[in-house]
Amino acid sequence: MELSTVRVSEALDKESHFYDEHLQKLQGTVVPRHYGLWTCRCSWGGIVIFSIFDWAGMPAYTLMQGPRWDTAEQRLICLRALSELHDHNIEHGSMVTFEDLRHFLFDPETKSARLVDFTWAEAGHLCEGSFPPKYATRDDDACCDEVGLMTNAFDAFSIISGELARRHEQQEGHSTNLDERDPALLGNQSPVRYVEASG
């Protein structure tokens, strides 16, 4: 095989083992179900190697190129998926900028996000804090590097502080910079109070 082909096959093999060893409990929820690494011999003499997954949606980066799908809700859904991955002590390893949405698949019907491409993932990650952090500020210590980078890339601090403050004003009839976490926006987690981000 050519060198590039060898590297691709090694990457697929590494990812397949990672699914088997570290992602079993998350398959079907945070990541797609993985049905193994397969090879087949073609009539033209070549050998094809490929992984088989269940359908988990469309590339989130493609969907979010338009205003219909690039919404606060979709961004927070993706961040919650990444957060749950970290809750299971797994770091994806390829999350830095907004363009890394290419590692998310988003299902418009179920409004769920799943992560793919675990070539650079590592198990045993001791997350310093997950999303959403205890306080909605831009403090670098509020969450680990990967979650923090993607939280910034998605502008989630502004989403949290702005949306929750707006809802609180509507419900209470006055302005404040504190609000209870809204389960519809941030998922079914125990209530935490947030401080509006500044700057």
The pLDDT tens digits for 24-80 are 999 999 999 999 999 899 888 888 888 999 999 999 988 888 777 788 888 889 999
Number of domains in the chain: 2
Statement to judge: residues 154 and 100 lie in one domain: yes
Statement to judge: residues 62 and 158 lie in one domain: yes
Q: Note the pLDDT of residue 121.
A: 95
Contact 125, 86 (CB under 8 A): yes
**Which segment, 33-37, 156-160, 164-168, 186-190, is predicted with the most confidence on average?**
33-37
Q: Note the pLDDT of residue 57.
A: 93
CA proximity to 102, closest of 119, 118, 83, 115: 115
Statement to judge: residues 18 and 94 lie in one domain: no
Place 173 in a pLDDT band, splitting at 50, 70 and 90. Answer: low
Q: Note the pLDDT of residue 166.
A: 64
Contact 105, 3 (CB under 8 A): no
Q: What mean pLDDT is predicted for residues 140-156? A: 79
Statement to judge: residues 153 and 98 lie in one domain: yes
Statement to judge: residues 102 and 189 lie in one domain: yes
How far is Cα 125 from Cα 143, in angstroms, rounded to an integer? 13
The mean predicted confidence, pLDDT, of the chain is: 78
Statement to judge: residues 74 and 143 lie in one domain: yes
Statement to judge: residues 33 and 91 lie in one domain: no
Statement to judge: residues 155 and 62 lie in one domain: yes
Q: Note the pLDDT of residue 181.
A: 40
- Domain span holding position 75: 58-195
pTM over 0.75: no
Share of the chain above pLDDT 90, in %: 37
Statement to judge: residues 48 and 81 lie in one domain: no
Place 187 in a pLDDT band, splitting at 50, 70 and 90. Answer: very low
Place 147 in a pLDDT band, splitting at 50, 70 and 90. Answer: confident
Statement to judge: residues 177 and 110 lie in one domain: yes
Q: Note the pLDDT of residue 8.
A: 82
Contact 147, 83 (CB under 8 A): yes
Q: Is the pLDDT of residue 92 over 90?
A: yes
Statement to judge: residues 145 and 183 lie in one domain: yes
Contact 194, 176 (CB under 8 A): no
Q: Note the pLDDT of residue 23.
A: 97
Q: Note the pLDDT of residue 35.
A: 95
Statement to judge: residues 76 and 46 lie in one domain: no
How far is Cα 167 from Cα 91, in angstroms, rounded to an integer? 33
Query: What number of CA atoms fall less than 13 Å from residue 63's CA on the CB side?
Result: 22
